[in-house]
Amino acid sequence: MSSGVPTLIALLHGPDQPGLVARVAGWIFERGGNILHADQHRDMEAGVFFQRVEWVPCFAPASGALPEAPSGGRTVIEAASEFTTFAATLGMSARVLSSAQRARVALFVSKADHCFHDLVLRGKAGDFPGEIVAVVGNHRDLAEAAAGYGLPFHHVPVSAETKVAAEARQLDLLRELRVELVVLARYMQVLSADFIGRFGAPVINIHHSFLPAFAGGRPYHQAHSRGVKLIGATAHYATRDLDEGPIIHQDVVRVTHRHGVDDLVRKGRDLERQVLAQALRWHLEGRVLAYGNKTVVFD
Amino acid sequence: MSSGVPTLIALLHGPDQPGLVARVAGWIFERGGNILHADQHRDMEAGVFFQRVEWVPCFAPASGALPEAPSGGRTVIEAASEFTTFAATLGMSARVLSSAQRARVALFVSKADHCFHDLVLRGKAGDFPGEIVAVVGNHRDLAEAAAGYGLPFHHVPVSAETKVAAEARQLDLLRELRVELVVLARYMQVLSADFIGRFGAPVINIHHSFLPAFAGGRPYHQAHSRGVKLIGATAHYATRDLDEGPIIHQDVVRVTHRHGVDDLVRKGRDLERQVLAQALRWHLEGRVLAYGNKTVVFD
Amino acid sequence: MSSGVPTLIALLHGPDQPGLVARVAGWIFERGGNILHADQHRDMEAGVFFQRVEWVPCFAPASGALPEAPSGGRTVIEAASEFTTFAATLGMSARVLSSAQRARVALFVSKADHCFHDLVLRGKAGDFPGEIVAVVGNHRDLAEAAAGYGLPFHHVPVSAETKVAAEARQLDLLRELRVELVVLARYMQVLSADFIGRFGAPVINIHHSFLPAFAGGRPYHQAHSRGVKLIGATAHYATRDLDEGPIIHQDVVRVTHRHGVDDLVRKGRDLERQVLAQALRWHLEGRVLAYGNKTVVFD
Amino acid sequence: MSSGVPTLIALLHGPDQPGLVARVAGWIFERGGNILHADQHRDMEAGVFFQRVEWVPCFAPASGALPEAPSGGRTVIEAASEFTTFAATLGMSARVLSSAQRARVALFVSKADHCFHDLVLRGKAGDFPGEIVAVVGNHRDLAEAAAGYGLPFHHVPVSAETKVAAEARQLDLLRELRVELVVLARYMQVLSADFIGRFGAPVINIHHSFLPAFAGGRPYHQAHSRGVKLIGATAHYATRDLDEGPIIHQDVVRVTHRHGVDDLVRKGRDLERQVLAQALRWHLEGRVLAYGNKTVVFD
């Protein structure tokens, strides 16, 4: 899944019609590319076709010259652009990424550090094709830990009064750093619909509950009070409606009457780390296609 | 956990106080009993003590006569009664059962047969210490299958108009058959609060969803529409508030975008069978203590 | 995944080469077919390409006549044959099935009945596209239960002395009944390499242990003695080397020090049922491609 | 499970006899103690009784003086000693710990850092009642990371020639630091039977495979080659027979044909972290009783 030649990965979706698989495969083949993986899905009710296709492109040398690096800047962008144009002729939207590129990721944090440490250490271990370029905190609690990892920490305090200005500052920062993905690593502020709209790139959140969830805050207290035997965590894209964005991944862990709220919180921390890390990895590998309020995950 | 000498199992709960474990153990020891298992729990917030204790009682022979069968009718009832009286002196409620007794169980069914077959076959295999003495259906669909297993089937149709009379007939039947537990094996009628109150013995239901659940009916359609990645099932005691009774067991199964509503229904069937069977088994082994809206499961 | 128009499903594998996806898709498209699902895999080390492709074929009416039923006998066989011929031109082996056909399955049983009941009931519920046409037992224990389900039961006793003759009789039976799949539902006899070779169609076995397993018999006793915290079950194709065939599915269940050998056996029964049923379903839906000693499962 | 008053926790085992539960509970009650949790187990085959009992001791003030801190040095040691003496009169071995004490733990590491980071971060988060007092590495790779966490790192290189001397140096270090538990956090050297014997305190190892396992090294390569659908990890006490010590915890994760050896290694890392951390936590909370080659885990 990893080693070797850079590949292109396209995520496509659009109205279903006969021959889509053949035409996509044919287009790639005619240009000398070799498909490594191709996975399709049809939403029968909605009549929508989805595809993830990954291929080794051929960048033919012009007039005997050496080929440019297939993952190199302009060449990949060109290849992506060509494919997107082709997809449009089929009535399909496409997003193309190169396996050689590492997305620029910002972590938004508050005080809790479990997801923060987990994601940073996984990043260092090469667990996902992304680079954490900034940590943005509304509190200073994780500034030192970020520094310890050699990561720039940006303190942007947020209060009801300063929220508009704070989000503007966050957006400036994200633009300046060319951030392509924001991960809310237990960031305890709600991003406004305006922020989501203006950022224009994906935001992944970890919800510390199974969805559908208990209404209101403090899910572990509510779970304990209701006497549930499982607690859950849900990673989803943040949309303008909080906690209503498309679900990427969910998991649960078993609890018993012996577990107090403290234990639920501790077990929840473990679960949140796992679920968020998996969702991030799938996203960065180009395996997640969101449409409407759902996702297709080509795992 | 199984073989050999009949045991007594007591489930106790009441206000916590020092020395409860010692006094219960002492009482049993003084009467020549030997504790096989004893499991305690304290709800620190509520200040409630819970215990499951299982012991081999000693039924001393009177004047050299042969001992009565320790699990025999009167003797067990006497032992249970003595223990209950003793527990009351500690301010505790107690329920005592004998491992040699098999509870009389009625299955309530409608048209779906997956939980029905599963429970009957497990009963025949000796998976739980209970005897299914009747199948009560508001439809006739499972009459033949019940007959095939040699089980009496009682058809009690229910409509909005006949509900009161139908429940009266069901209650007569349960009394006549000395039923000690009703299992709603995908029974698609809501039992009235009046029925629950007058029956006076436990009713276990399988809810075809994780709880907390999507509000309203057709959970698999809702789960599919929301794009969840896990679906759940919950076994709980039925109380006057539908779906709000104490949860005994829950489990989930993973689903993906590839699974249509049909697949969710099929996977849900498997899950419901497993969850209901486990809850029934725990209940019949005297492992479940309901209090307030929660359960303690001594597994 | 289910409803509606019959589809053709092809399972292909062979040496990898550029353009395979495009050529398969193109071939189907040119004949008016519409691909519903296509899933590929490459074994990079072995250089082998695997594909499962499912499509709605177009059976053009000859001279204005009504089209033949697309799943009807000869037409499907022709379509399958055409595809297989085409695949051969790519150096690929292909197996083609129609979603409208139900494979003829024989269950081999001994005395244990848990997998037997489970598979029969799932078959009746339409959980998998196959028909159980015979139950073959080396003991008579399940004869009555089979009759209760309306299934023909064939008693073929096996001893060391009669094994050769017994297997010959089994093979005759399988041929006569045109059986396409044998499921060893806790059949406690080892099939000879000769039987496997002469039957020539798949045999699925459920191994009551995780693989790699404790060497020797009585896995639950060994698991208990070693103090493992998980027990497993493995469904695999039977090959000439017992327990060494390609694994289709595995699962585990948690156990603790409280569980005696009896409990392990009971939990194992549940696990075996689940794992075998899932493996059978995947096989019959044309999702399993065995090669060498491994499987590719397009789930 | 956590807050508040220090408790004493005793782990007992010995030959079963009637009245053990009553006598232990009575002894504690007579001394003014209050049992919070008591969990028993009987190994019926071996005739061995096991108990974990946790209680709030009463340290009566002598002649009106203020009571000593119940968890204070001498008092706890005295209480433990009294209980151990009492247990001996019942023919039982006992180990007593105080919830207020934090065990002194040494991590042994080589080059892999995933378990190392995980345990250190959990320790800082207060996930288990222990203190990591040293990191011992046969390579220098984790020296800097240890320093970053403020942990002393001891480099003790080991080769075939220096093994005896190296182990002597490790033992000196452990004694000097009063280490009560060694955790082999992916330490790639085999400790000699002599080391295990002379250290005299528990050593927990994480085995990167399910047990029973593939014989030999490189389990993920073997798992991939065999085409298994689950990979496992096992935490166990190290004994003189490598990989044969009592199992504390095991878990598995699902893999498919899509996962290469690299993926198995990555998934295995996650699993190893989880399984080792859980085993460590259970051990430090006094929940694990090893006997023969098995464990009783009072979770």
D2 pLDDT band, cuts 50/70/90, is very low
- Give the model's pLDDT for residue B225: 80
Cβ contact (<8 Å) for B1 and C262?
yes
- Is the same domain home to C68 and C179? no
| C227-255 confidence digits (pLDDT tens) | 889 999 999 999 987 667 999 999 999 99
Closest Cα in chain B, distance from residue C293 (Å): 27
Closest Cα in chain B, distance from residue D40 (Å): 6
Per-residue DSSP letter, B129: S
Q: Is the pLDDT of residue D143 over 90?
A: yes
Of A98, A124, A155, the last residue of a domain is A98
- Give the model's pLDDT for residue A275: 97
| A50-88 confidence digits (pLDDT tens) | 999 999 887 544 444 444 444 444 577 788 899 999 999
Instruction: Answer whether residue C1 is part of any domain.
Output: no
- Give the model's pLDDT for residue D256: 92
| D285-297 confidence digits (pLDDT tens) | 999 999 888 999 9
- Give the model's pLDDT for residue D4: 64
Q: Determine the residue among A3, A12, A27, A35 to mutate to test chain C binding: the one whose Cβ has the most chain C Cβ atoms within 10 Å.
A: A35
3-state SS assignment for residue B207: strand
C64 pLDDT band, cuts 50/70/90, is very low
Of A47, A76, A98, the last residue of a domain is A98
**CA dihedral over A62, A63, A69, A74, signed as positive or negative:** negative
- Is the same domain home to B71 and B155? no
- Give the model's pLDDT for residue B68: 45
**For range D141-167, the mean pLDDT:** 97
- Give the model's pLDDT for residue B75: 72
Other beta carbons less than 10 A from residue A240's beta carbon: 13
- Give the model's pLDDT for residue D43: 86
- Is the same domain home to D46 and D133? no
- Is the same domain home to C241 and C183? yes
Q: Is the pLDDT of residue D67 over 80?
A: no
| C134-168 confidence digits (pLDDT tens) | 999 999 999 999 999 999 999 999 999 999 999 99
Cβ–Cβ contact B88 with D under 8 A = no
Instruction: Answer whether residue C155 is part of any domain.
Output: yes
- Give the model's pLDDT for residue A216: 63
Contacts of D261 (CB under 8 A, 6+ apart): D220, D221, D224
**CA dihedral over B236, B238, B241, B245, signed as positive or negative:** negative
B256 vs C2: which has the higher pLDDT: B256
Domain harbouring A242, CATH code: 3.40.50.170
Structure tokens at A85: 């144009």
Cβ contact (<8 Å) for C21 and A25?
yes
- Is the same domain home to C20 and C150? no
Residue B271 sits in which domain range? 103-297
pTM of structure: 0.92
- Strands, E, within D114-237: which ranges? 130-137, 153-155, 181-184, 203-207, 230-237
- Give the model's pLDDT for residue A70: 45
- Give the model's pLDDT for residue C2: 44
- With beta carbons under 8 A apart, name residues in chain A contacting D266: 127
Cβ–Cβ contact B250 with A under 8 A = yes
- Is the same domain home to C52 and C141? no
Instruction: Answer whether residue A216 is part of any domain.
Output: yes
Domain harbouring D60, CATH code: 3.30.70.260
Instruction: Answer whether residue A37 is part of any domain.
Output: yes
Closest Cα in chain C, distance from residue A176 (Å): 40
Instruction: Answer whether residue A2 is part of any domain.
Output: no
Instruction: Answer whether residue D93 is part of any domain.
Output: yes
What torsion do the CA atoms of B119, B125, B127, B128 make, to the nearest 10 degrees? 70
Cβ contact (<8 Å) for A2 and D262?
yes
Concatenated DSSP letters for chain C? Answer: --SSS--EEEEEEEE--TTHHHHHHHHHHHTT-EEEEEEEEEETTTTEEEEEEEEE---PPGGGPPPPPTTSHHHHHHHHHHHHHHHHHTT-EEEEEETT--EEEEEEE-S--HHHHHHHHHHHTT-SSEEEEEEEESSSTTHHHHHHTT--EEE----TTTHHHHHHHHHHHHHHTT--EEEESS--SPPPHHHHHHH-S-EEEEESS-SS--SSS-HHHHHHHHT-SEEEEEEEE--SSTT-SPEEEEEEEE--TT--HHHHHHHHHHHHHHHHHHHHHHHHTT-EEEETTEEEE--
**Residue D21 parent element (H or E):** helix D20-30
Closest Cα in chain B, distance from residue D41 (Å): 6
Report the chain A residue with the minimal C-alpha distance to residue B294. Answer: A227
Percent of chain A topping pLDDT 70: 90
**CB A67 within 8 Å of CB A56:** no
- With beta carbons under 8 A apart, name residues in chain D contacting C207: none
Cβ contact (<8 Å) for D121 and A125?
no
Cβ–Cβ contact D295 with C under 8 A = yes
For residues B296 and A257, give the distance between their C-alpha atoms in angstroms, rounded to a whole number.
5
Closest CA to A171 of A141, A194, A205: A194
| C172-230 confidence digits (pLDDT tens) | 999 999 999 999 999 999 999 999 999 999 999 998 877 666 666 677 888 888 888 99
- Is the same domain home to B283 and B206? yes
For residues D10 and D20, give the distance between their C-alpha atoms in angstroms, rounded to a whole number.
14
Q: Is the pLDDT of residue A280 over 60?
A: yes
Q: Is the pLDDT of residue C12 over 50?
A: yes
Neighbours of chain A (3+ CB pairs under 8 A): B, C, D
- Give the model's pLDDT for residue D266: 92
Of D98, D120, D139, the last residue of a domain is D98
Closest CA to C26 of C9, C44, C14, C38: C38
Q: Is the pLDDT of residue A242 over 90?
A: no
Q: Is the pLDDT of residue C291 over 70?
A: yes
Which positions of A are catalytic?
Answer: 243
Cβ–Cβ contact B253 with A under 8 A = no
Instruction: Answer whether residue B2 is part of any domain.
Output: no
Structure tokens at A24: 């996509």
- Is the same domain home to B117 and B211? yes
- Give the model's pLDDT for residue D236: 95
**Residue A114 parent element (H or E):** helix A114-124
Residues 192-211 of D with CB under 8 A from A: none
Q: Is the pLDDT of residue C125 over 80?
A: yes
D225 pLDDT band, cuts 50/70/90, is confident
Q: Is the pLDDT of residue A228 over 90?
A: no
- Give the model's pLDDT for residue A200: 95
C-alpha triplet C47, C278, C95: angle, nearest 5°: 45
Q: Is the pLDDT of residue C14 over 60?
A: yes
Catalytic member of C16, C243, C251, C263: C243
Which segments in chain B show pLDDT lower than 50? 1-3, 60-73
Contacts of A255 (CB under 8 A, 6+ apart): A223, A228, A229, A230, A231, A263, A264, A267
Report the chain D residue with the minimal C-alpha distance to residue C252. Answer: D252
For residues B35 and B20, give the distance between their C-alpha atoms in angstroms, rounded to a whole number.
15
Q: In sequence order, what are the beta bridge partners of D111?
A: none
Instruction: Answer whether residue B3 is part of any domain.
Output: no
B243 is catalytic: yes
- Is the same domain home to A289 and A196? yes
Q: Determine the residue among B17, B24, B35, B86 to mutate to test chain D binding: the one whose Cβ has the most chain D Cβ atoms within 10 Å.
A: B35
Q: Is the pLDDT of residue A128 over 70?
A: yes
Cβ–Cβ contact C74 with B under 8 A = no
- Is the same domain home to C84 and C156? no
Q: In sequence order, what are the beta bridge partners of A181?
A: A105
- Is the same domain home to B112 and B222? yes
3-state SS assignment for residue A74: helix
Cβ–Cβ contact A64 with B under 8 A = no
**For range A165-177, the mean pLDDT:** 98
- Give the model's pLDDT for residue D214: 67
Burial A271-289 (b: 16+ CB within 10 A, else e): bbbbbbbbbbbbbbbbbbb
**For range C98-122, the mean pLDDT:** 96
The domain total for chain D is 2
Catalytic member of D43, D141, D243, D263: D243
| A19-62 confidence digits (pLDDT tens) | 899 999 999 999 988 888 888 888 878 899 999 999 988 754 44
- Give the model's pLDDT for residue B126: 93
- Is the same domain home to A202 and A111? yes
Amino acid (one-letter) located at B218: R
